[in-house]
Chain A
């Protein structure tokens, strides 16, 4: 069972039945769960705000920053994730990178992890795997 508090910067949200829409999770609940999963990915310092406009999932009286959910067609879901990369993690990865035998760029390994967590979170919520997961590194701090 996934805990569904997103931590600072977002409003607390549990998943009681009141938050379910016709027996399904609302977008803010889904975004909240994704935020919680992403925060555990090594290197994620925080969720990003977006580069051009604020990226968030809006619900009644609350919003989840850094995650935007879209429904291209009913039953389909695409996810946009904005993250801030931890400077210490980056520096460590850069120093370890030269000795690593993996040829995949460090940044792509990191974003692959983020994507995997998003897919895993949705799977645990009983939702279909999203057809698109866009990941943006907004900043390094």
Chain B
């Protein structure tokens, strides 16, 4: 979902919550329709809610309570997406401008560097930004005959030096997990 659609969803969610709260206040008799109708806006609609009989009022409260719950879930999801890890890392920012690199590119570089370590067959890696630098997590599939702790340590050192030396980003930690079982391949969907 692009930024424009996200903003639309957030605004609609906020509008739904505000609408529901007004309905609750009207049904409960806390406010009168004229108080929530500046310039007579939606006065007819608010009057309808204010004049509901107890049975219909209960139904309206239940329906709008569900609307609030759905809107809150959407809001939380959207705001959580906005606060996700950045898709790019700033490598340098000076008077000449900014140099940034996509997170996916750093991940690929980690993959290339890992593949050069003897004994490593394949890797899966994630790169996140920590307070003191990048946090790299690597799962490495090793050849059965190699010394896993030694290869893991070599991989750690290589990645730390490589990211700092080739990209110029500080590395806070490199976590390496080694395994001998092949990685799970994504399952193919059966087409009927």
The docked-state distance in angstroms from the alpha carbon of A125 to that of B34 is 66
In-complex Cβ contact of B97 among A106, A133, A137 (8 A): A133
Q: A95 — which chain B residues lie within 8 A by C-beta?
A: 116
A135 touches B112 (CB 8 A): no
When A51-B102, A135-B99 are in contact, do A108 and B112 touch as well, CB less than 8 Å?
Answer: no
- Residues B100 and A115 in contact, CB atoms below 8 Å apart: no
| Interface assignment of A139: CB less than 8 Å from any CB of chain B | yes
Nearest chain A CB to B173's CB is how many angstroms away?
Answer: 19
Q: For chains A and B in complex, what number of residue pairs have CB atoms within 8 angstroms?
A: 79
A115-B97 CB under 8 A given contacts A94-B112, A105-B167: yes
Tell me the chain A residues, 84-103 only, with Cβ under 8 Å from chain B: 85, 87, 90-91, 93-95, 97
Please tell me the number of chain A residues within 8 Å of chain B, measured between CB atoms: 28
From the candidates B98, B101, B104, B105, name the one contacting A134 in the complex (CB within 8 A): B98
CB distance from A121 to the nearest CB of B (A): 15
Indicate with 1 or 0, residue by residue over A24-50, a CB within 8 angstroms of chain B CB atoms: 000000000000000000000000000
Taking the complex as formed, is A120 at the interface, i.e. its CB lies under 8 A from any CB of chain B? no
CB distance from A123 to the nearest CB of B (A): 15
Contacts of A10 in B (CB 8 A): none
Judge whether B92 is part of the interface by a CB distance below 8 angstroms: yes
Write the nearest CB–CB distance from B187 to chain A, whole angstroms. Answer: 26
A138 CB–B CB distance under 8 Å: yes
Residue from B88, B97, B102 whose CB has the most chain A CB atoms within 10 Å: B97
User: Does B96 interact with chain A (Cβ within 8 Å)?
Assistant: yes
Known: A51-B102, A107-B91. A94 touches B113 (CB 8 A): yes
Q: Which of A91, A105, A106, A139 contacts B105 (CB 8 A)?
A: A139
**Beta-carbon nearest neighbor of A104 in chain B:** B168
1-55 of chain B: CB within 8 A of chain A: 2-3
- Count contacts on B: residues with CB < 8 A to the other chain: 26
**A108 & B3 in contact (Cβ 8 Å cutoff):** no
A53 interface contact, C-beta 8 A: yes
Residue B135 at the A interface, CB < 8 A?
A: no
Instruction: Decide if B175 is an interface residue (CB 8 Å cutoff).
Output: no
Nearest neighbor of A81 in chain B, beta-carbon distance: B97
CB contact list, B59-114 vs A, under 8 A = 87-88, 91-92, 96-102, 104-105, 108-109, 112-113
A111 to B93, CA, bound (A): 12
Say whether, besides A107-B91, A107-B166, A107-B167, A90 and B109 are in contact (CB < 8 Å). yes
B interface, CB within 8 angstroms of A: 2-3, 87-88, 91-92, 96-102, 104-105, 108-109, 112-113, 116, 162, 164-168
- A sample of 12 cross-chain residue pairs with beta-carbon separation below 8 angstroms, ordered by A number, consists of A51-B87, A94-B112, A95-B116, A105-B168, A106-B166, A107-B101, A108-B91, A108-B92, A137-B100, A137-B101, A139-B105, A140-B109
9 residue pairs, one from A and one from B, having the closest CB atoms = A105-B168, A132-B97, A137-B101, A134-B97, A106-B166, A133-B97, A136-B100, A134-B98, A140-B108
